[in-house]
Amino acid sequence: MSKRKASATQSHPDQIDFLTILEGKHTVVTVPDEPAEEIGALNQKQKIKIWLNDAIKRSPYNREQIALMISHETGEDISETQINTWTGSSRPNMLPACVLAALTKILGPDLANNIFGPAGCVVLERSDAVFARAGQLILISNAAKEQAYQIINETPLFGSINNG
């Protein structure tokens, strides 16, 4: 039995699509504002309900499908009725933190970014985190090169060769 070679058109899930970036179709990560310092600035009880409703409306899934997906992701039995209690403005039930990761995976990072943005945090999708890490490594590499050149220039033996 022979092994098939992967075709050149198949991509690895971690592969970065540079053409998308060059065409300007890649999402630009926004840096959140500094956290608010006022008393009660992070009280988001009603906002979370609004943000969750908005995320559900933008998603291709209905509430029943979302409930099934959350149940699958968390191993907890989640119903459409529970989602309705999390989103109803007059309902006392709050969105439990234990389902936030599943909701982020299912609905995207907007809900989590709305919740954590006022605290000065941002949730990145994996591809954005890869770009951010690559940028950090480039900055670290450039700083290391500058330090190496400074040491070389300050060392008598090397400095005289470099300047001479």
More confident residue, 6 or 115: 115
- Inter-residue contact 120 to 32 (CB < 8 Å): yes
- Inter-residue contact 27 to 21 (CB < 8 Å): no
- Which position has the token pair 């234990």? 98
Residue whose C-alpha is closest to residue 115's, from 81, 86, 142: 86
Residue 5 has pLDDT above 80, yes or no: no
pLDDT tens sequence across 119-152: 888 888 777 777 778 888 888 898 899 998 888 8
pLDDT tens sequence across 31-64: 777 887 888 888 888 899 999 999 999 999 999 9
Q: What angle do CA 82, 78, 89 make, to 5 degrees?
A: 20
This prediction's pTM: 0.63
- Which position has the token pair 């179709």? 25
